[in-house]
């Protein structure tokens, strides 16, 4: 299979990083109210996750030059007064790597300097040439802090095209979340989605060696029976606009609002049929928020485009150059969805120009 070595490395990296995040989130949720308002847990987990992914990829793919486009960099950690947090992250990363016995291969225990170097492996700019790994060490930081959904999202670009994606979603139930947002606490959680180009999308439990199962997007053709996902955060996506699109389509179910690229994972196995994302004016989407999710959905049979129906172009560096928003659906629903999107945006523009 093409990309076998890269996929193994990416799955290992994302799973291990997710384990680090789970540990931090658990401690955060058990802590008192005062420390819950403190943003440092997410900072620690963000940097720690990025360092783990970078170190694992470097170790597993020694034969290749290594380029990583990632969300975080070490600038803040190098400032005076960051010594404590840097120590905390370094310990957390060492503890996480030790559980996999990777420390031996990564030259014994990491120092704080090693950690800073590992984080800064992720400062590549991407672009149309060569290979670039793309990482969001914690996607859905708001969800992470709330104790809700988040994902470790890792993808690989080759000549500007996504060829591989892995999504580790530690809090996503293994069974469908369709119409079941408040799944019971007995539900097993933790999903690992992965896809390589031309080979389909698979899901397996995050913390076990069970066989992966192939997943497919929803086959719903009638929009009245479709349900749709959107950001939990109204600041990340215009809920009014998606509600207008959904009502034009005749969608009956209320929106399913969850954080992070867990939405793409859930869509790839048919938990919902549509994803609508319309950032407020002026926001520029970053590639690490969509690379892994996009291939997970397309290899499962879905279509991911901008609001004008154009495929997402990941070859332009860190940012996506978009026509207003990102939409996802299966092949049958997409033409109807595109029309509803066009009509709703036109109505909205007309209404705002008449103000």
Ligand X SMILES: Nc1ncnc2c1ncn2[C@@H]1O[C@H](COP(=O)(O)O)[C@@H](OP(=O)(O)O)[C@H]1O
Give the residues lining the site for Mg ion (CB under 5 A): 71, 136, 138-139, 289
Residue of closest CB approach to ligand X: 231
Cβ closest to ligand X, residue 19 vs residue 236:
236
- Out of 43, 90, 96, 141, the active site residue is 141
Dist CA 121 CA 53 (whole Å): 10
Least separation in angstroms between residue 265's CB and ligand X is: 12
Strands (E), the chain: 68-70, 131-139, 151-158, 161-173, 189-196, 201-205, 213-215, 228-230, 256-257, 274-277, 302-306, 326-330
Rule CB under 6 A: say whether 240 interacts with ligand X.
Answer: no
Q: Which is nearer to Mg ion, 71 or 306 (CB)?
A: 71
Cβ pair 82, 76 in contact under 8 A: yes
> Among residues 140, 165, 302, 325, which is the contact residue for ligand X, using CB under 6 A?
140
Annotated binding site for Mg(2+): 71, 136, 138-139, 289
**Contact characters 191-220, ligand X, x per CB under 6 A:** ------------------------------
Nearer to ligand X, 231 or 330 (CB): 231
Residue 103 a catalytic site member: no
List binders of ligand X among 279-338 (CB under 6 A).
279-280, 283, 286, 289
* Separation between Cα atoms, residue 159 and residue 69, nearest integer Å: 14
* C-alpha atoms less than 13 angstroms from C-alpha of 18 in its C-beta half-sphere: 30
Find the binder of ligand X among 6, 72, 114, 139 (CB under 6 A).
139
Strands 151-158 vs 161-173: parallel, antiparallel or unpaired: antiparallel
Grouping H, G, I as helix, E, B as strand and the rest as coil, residue 350 is helix
Question: Which conformational region is residue 245 in: left (phi greater than 0), alpha (psi within -120 to 50 degrees), or beta?
Answer: alpha
Q: Which does 293 bind (CB under 5 to 8 A by kind): ligand X, Mg ion, none?
A: none
CB of 20 to ligand X, least distance (A): 15
C-beta of 76: minimal distance to ligand X in Å? 15
**Residues of this chain, 57-86, that bind ligand X according to CB under 6 A:** 71
Rounded Cα distance between 8 and 54, Å, is 14
Q: How far apart are CA 41 and CA 89, in angstroms?
A: 10
Please list the residues that pair with 34 across neighbouring strands. Answer: none
Q: Pick the closer one to ligand X by CB: 23 or 286.
A: 286
The owner of tokens 């939405």 is 263
- Pick the binder of ligand X from 204, 260, 298, 305 (CB under 6 A): 260
Q: Of ligand X, Mg ion, none, which one sits near residue 259, judging by CB under 5 to 8 A according to partner kind?
A: ligand X
Q: Which does residue 231 touch among Mg ion, ligand X, none (CB within 5 to 8 A, set by kind)?
A: ligand X
The Cα–Cα gap between 152 and 156 comes to 14
Q: In the block, which residue shows the tokens 């892995």? A: 166
Q: What is the DSSP letter of 188?
A: -
For 314, phi and psi rounded to 5 degrees? -90, 10
Annotated active-site residue 141? The verdict is yes
Q: How far is the CB of 92 from ligand X (least distance, A)?
A: 19
> Which of 73, 158, 207, 233 is in the footprint of ligand X by CB under 6 A?
233
Interface segment toward ligand X; rule CB under 6 A; list 60-68, 109-117, 139-147, 298-306: 139-147
118 sits in which H/E element: helix 112-120
Contacts with ligand X by CB under 6 A lie at: 71, 136, 138-141, 143, 231, 233, 235-236, 259-260, 279-280, 283, 286, 289
Residues with active-site annotation: 46, 141
């Amino acid at each position: 299979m093409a990309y076998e070595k890269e996929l193994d490395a990416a799955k290992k990296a994302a799973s291990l990083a997710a384990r680090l995040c789970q540990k931090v989130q658990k401690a955060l949720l058990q802590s008192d109210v005062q420390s819950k308002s403190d943003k440092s847990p997410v900072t620690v987990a963000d940097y720690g996750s990025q360092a783990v992914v970078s170190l694992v990829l470097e170790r597993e793919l020694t034969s290749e030059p290594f380029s990583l486009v990632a969300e975080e960099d070490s600038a803040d950690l190098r400032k005076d007064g960051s010594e404590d947090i840097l120590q905390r992250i370094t310990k957390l990363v060492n503890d996480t790597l030790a559980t996999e016995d990777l420390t031996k291969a990564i030259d014994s225990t990491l120092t704080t300097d090693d950690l800073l170097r590992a984080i800064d492996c992720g400062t590549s700019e991407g672009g149309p040439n060569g290979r670039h790994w793309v990482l969001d060490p914690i996607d859905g930081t708001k969800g992470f802090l709330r104790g809700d959904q988040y994902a470790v999202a890792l993808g690989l670009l080759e000549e500007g095209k996504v060829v591989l994606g892995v999504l580790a979603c530690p809090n996503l139930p293994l069974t469908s979340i369709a119409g079941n947002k408040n799944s019971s606490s007995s539900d097993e959680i933790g999903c690992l989605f992965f896809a390589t180009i031309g080979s389909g999308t698979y899901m397996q439990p995050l913390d076990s060696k069970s066989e992966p199962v192939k997943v497919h997007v929803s086959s719903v053709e009638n929009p009245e029976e479709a349900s749709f996902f959107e950001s939990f955060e109204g600041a990340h996506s215009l809920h009014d606009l998606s509600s207008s699109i959904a009502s034009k389509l005749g969608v009956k179910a209320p929106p399913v609002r969850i954080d992070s690229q867990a939405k793409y994972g859930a869509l790839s196995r048919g938990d919902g049929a549509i994803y609508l994302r319309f950032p407020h004016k002026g926001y520029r989407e970053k590639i690490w928020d969509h690379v892994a999710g996009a291939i997970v959905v397309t290899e499962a049979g879905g279509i991911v485009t901008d609001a004008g129906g154009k495929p997402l172009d990941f070859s332009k560096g860190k940012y996506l150059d978009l026509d207003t928003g990102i939409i996802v659906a299966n092949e049958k629903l997409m033409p109807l969805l595109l029309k509803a999107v066009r009509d709703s945006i036109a109505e909205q523009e007309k209404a705002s120009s008449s103000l």
